[in-house]
Amino acid sequence: MKVWQAFVEALQSLTANKMRSGLTILGIVIGVAAVIAMISIGRGAQNSITGSIEGIGTNLLFIFRGGDESVRNPKHLTLEDSQALADPFAAPSVAGVAPLLQGNGEVSYGRESAITSLVGVTPEYESVRNVHLTEGEFINQEHMLGRASVALLGPETADALFGRHEGVTGETIRIEGQPFRVIGVLAAQGGSAFGSQDDRVLVPLTTAQTRLMRRGGLNRVDVIIVQAVSAEAVPLAADEVSQILRTRHRTAIGADDFTVLTQQDFLDTAKVITGVLTIFLGGIAAISLLVGGIGIMNIMLVSVTERTREIGLRKALGARKSDILIQFLTESSVLSLVGGVIGILLGWGIATVVGRIAAANDAPIDPSIGLDVILIATLFSTAVGLFFGLYPANRAANLEPVEALRYE
């Protein structure tokens, strides 16, 4: 039997029972659409997260307290540590250093209030993190020396307090009940590995140490951000930073009481997490495709039973076992292939709608519908049709002509 003839006969057989064939195809459509949509949305989320991390900067290192598990009572990071890291002779690969104090607190203006992230920074933070302002000025050395009550607002924080993020410079807000003068508004940056960069308040580090986030010592800091001279110099800068801190904290190699993370570390972790999530979502969606395949097997078994006399007549007139096998395998493949094509279009539509809904809610998830996903879904749906159609087709091909003709 020729392939084209088998295809035409398969279409005739399937169109003879339009409702039954349509419901069978629907199972494959739902399965393929779910796989396409889930994987595309998962990849979009991965691209969004990794893009945010890459936006931090390609030449930054982040230093945290705590390192090897064998080290008990790790020393705190201090301002003196950050000053030592900024020494160009000890760390020539380091271009800038910015110590931070981080916490949460209540910020209010009139009757409006919000719980937001409070960050104590130095003037170096502006260049190290490449911060941009939409209005006002950044924190300077005078603010640091005078422990000034000044603050920079993220655009989301400004919107929450004032209902706008323009023309708020000069206003007075309260942070933990204490008055602070707004000296500027940060440009929108979106999310990052450290949460939203638009919902936060920056204050001078010295002000945060003495009035907002006491750490049991005026020289303690939570994080030290180090800027390498270039992206290529990051590994060398990490070695220099580690050596300086080991000397200052008097720790041996392999027993560090601090952790140095680079942007690549964050990227690798984010890719692993989002990759597992994408596979998990795709696996759940594939279950529905499996159910659709079982539906094909069920309908093909019914078809074999209904057409037993037809099969017997074909074999009596000279049809070979392979002809009957190809006929029923073609029918099951057509069911799955048609369902796969419709499912791809439906999955693409679902992913597009989800992307637009996410964009409308300020969640920048751009579903990534790759050609590889479409090819995999198409081949997989066809394979499902062949696999689940194999048993019914083989059963039909093995019918004895005499017994089949006697079937009522």
Q: Can you give the pLDDT at residue 3? A: 58
Task: Give the residue among 34, 32, 184, 175 at the shortest CA–CA distance from 117.
Answer: 175
- Sorted by where each begins, the domain ranges of the chain are 3-53+268-406, 67-256
Beta pairing partners, 152: 184, 202
At residue 193, the pLDDT reads: 45
- Residue 216 in tokens: 């049991």
Task: Mark residue 154 as left, alpha or beta (left: phi above 0; alpha: psi -120 to 50; beta: remaining).
Answer: beta
Of 187, 157, 156, 190, the closest CA to residue 174 belongs to: 157
Structure tokens at 179: 């008055």
Q: Which residue matches tokens 């006697």?
A: 406
**C-beta neighbour count of 63 within 10 angstroms:** 23
Give the torsion through C-alpha atoms of 210, 214, 219, 224, to 10 deg: -110
Three-state SS at 186:
strand
pLDDT attached to residue 315 = 62
**Spatial CB neighbours of 177, under 8 Å, sequence gap ≥ 6:** 106
Q: Could you say which residues of the chain have pLDDT below 70?
A: 1-16, 49-58, 67-73, 190-196, 215-218, 253-254, 264-270, 285, 289, 300-319, 321-325, 328, 361-364, 366, 385-386, 388-408
Q: Kindly give, in sequence order, each residue whose CB lies less than 8 Å from that of residue 21, ignoring residues fewer than 6 positions away.
A: 14, 15, 299, 335
CB atoms within 10 A of CB 114: 16
Joined tokens for residue 376: 């995999």
Q: What is the pLDDT at residue 77?
A: 83
How crowded is residue 166: how many other Cβ atoms within 10 Å of its Cβ? 11
* Residue 357 CB contacts under 8 Å (≥ 6 apart), including other chains: none
- Find out whether 17 and 302 touch, Cβ atoms under 8 Å: no
